[in-house]
Amino acid sequence: MFRDEAVLIASAGRGGDGCSSFHREKFTPRGGPDGGDGGDGGSVILRASVHESSLFRISRARHARAEHGRQGTSNNKHGRNGADLLIEVPVGTVVRDLRRGNVMADLKHEGSEVVVAAGGKGGRGNARFATAINQAPRRNDFGRDGEKRELQLELKLVADVGLVGLPNAGKSTLISRLTAARPRVAAYPFTTLEPALGFCETGGEPSALVLADIPGLIRGAADGKGLGHQFLRHVERTRVLLHLVDCSAEAEDPAAARAAIADELSAYAPELADRRRLLVATKVEDAASEARALELIAAAGGYGVAISAVTGAGLPALRRAMLGAVNAPVAAADPELPEATRHVGASEMGPDSRDPVREG
């Protein structure tokens, strides 16, 4: 089950107490203090890992406790340090301290770590306090408590391309054709209930792009309506947005659908208005839908890609367009990147244009 939010209570281990002891051995009547130090408590560490894709495991086990340090013993023996508790989280996890409200870490890269609760220091044994004028100290320190924090974990998927659009715009079908991902596909809205990731082979550099499909957005999504607002955070890290618009005869006005999604993205996060976008007219499978796609693309300045994920028409062109958009210079003035896209006309939508890499 996919979870992109979780609360974790992290408790580090307590340090072991120092020992107060005096050496006792035959023929050594004045052996002196020999109490050892206590061991340090274990820390709680979060590490980003590509082997984790959800916060579900953490949401089921909210308490994380590291091992306590052991007490020091006689003969100047140091107590064993408590073992650190290492917890793997998905790449892209943001860690917040709930009490203070600050962001402790943004684990955007594989292998990055953060100590969320530091273990307590072990106490000093009485051997530490021996001096020339106090040769038989009876003082020893207690171990310190480890840190305890209540954390809010929030997952923001790290992807090259994010798919956005109204419900039933064809996002799930498209990602199933371009990648090995197998999201739920059906002829009714809101079939996607959780984000899906997939790797799309490009045949260029980079050789593969990470695609993220989020649940369909509706008008008012930025204000909490529908399902997609819960997952809009997942398009914040994407480099390019694929803006899918249904151009079939049964769909609503494509221009209105395009404007609705653009408005919701801007309302949720103003910086998304400047994110590179690639307009994709979907379900272009007959003359009527192609006419609607042509009108939509013309209204957008003549730049866009018309596809049919079902027949595979236009998918090779879409791959090239995505690769060009990802590799385009950052300082592009127009977020829709005209140099990276083109329209696929009716002459290109025959059976020879089927996707040669993956057939779903």
Report domain extents, the chain: 5-155, 161-353
- Per-residue pLDDT at 303 exceeds 80: no
Question: What are the φ/ψ torsions at residue 59 (nearest 5 degrees)?
Answer: -65, -25
- Distance of CA 23 to CAs 34, 75, 134, Å? 6, 7, 16
> What pLDDT is stored for residue 107 in this prediction?
92
- CB-CB contact of 152 with 96 (8 Å): yes
Answer yes or no: are the C-beta atoms of 90 and 49 closer than 8 Å: yes
What is the separation of C-alpha 61 from the centre of its chain, rounded to a whole number of angstroms?
Answer: 19
Edge-first strand listing for the sheet containing 103-107: 63-65, 5-11, 148-155, 93-97, 103-107
Other beta carbons less than 10 A from residue 110's beta carbon: 12
First to last CA, the chain: 23
Which residue has 């494509």 as its token pair?
A: 254
Q: Is the pLDDT of residue 72 over 70?
A: yes
Residue 330 — pLDDT band, cuts 50, 70, 90?
low
Q: What is the pTM of this model?
A: 0.70
Q: Which residue has the higher pLDDT, 169 or 15?
A: 15
Question: CA-to-CA distance for 259 and 328, rounded, in angstroms?
Answer: 24
Q: C-alpha angle with apex 216: 214 to 222, nearest 5 degrees?
A: 90
Tokens 């260029």 belong to which residue? 204
Give 170-179 pLDDT, tens digit per residue. Answer: 888 888 888 8
Same fold, 5-155 and 161-353: no
Out of 2.60.120.650, 2.70.210.12, 1.10.150.20, 3.60.20.10, which CATH number does the structure's domain 5-155 have? 2.70.210.12
Q: In whole angstroms, how far apart are CA 77 and each of 34, 133, 220? A: 8, 24, 65
Query: What DSSP designation does 51 have?
Result: T
Predicted pLDDT of residue 11: 97
Q: Which fold has domain 161-353?
A: Rossmann fold (3.40.50)
Side-chain-side CA neighbours of 172 within 13 Å: the count stands at: 19
Q: Which segment of 157-166, 289-298, 322-331 scores lowest on mean pLDDT? A: 322-331
SS3 214: coil
Within 8 A by CB and 6+ apart from 82, the residues are 13, 14, 16, 39, 40, 41, 42, 66, 67, 68, 69, 70, 119
Mean pLDDT of all residues in 68-87: 95
Could you read off the pLDDT of 213-263 as tens digits, one per residue? Answer: 876 565 554 444 444 455 667 777 788 888 889 998 888 888 888 888 888
Q: Give me the residues paired with residue 246 across strands.
A: 282
The larger pLDDT score, comparing residue 304 to residue 43, is at 43
Residue 173, number of CB atoms within 10 A of its CB? 22
- The DSSP H or E segment spanning 39 is none
Residues contacting 246, CB < 8 A, separation 6+? 165, 166, 168, 169, 170, 252, 254, 257, 282, 283
For the CA atoms of the chain, what is the radius of gyration?
29
**What SS3 state is found at 132?**
coil
Number of C-alpha atoms within 13 angstroms, CB side, residue 229? 13
Query: Helices 315-327 and 171-178 meet at what angle, rounded to 10?
Result: 90
What's the chain's average pLDDT? 81
Beta strands 148-155; 208-213: pairing state: unpaired
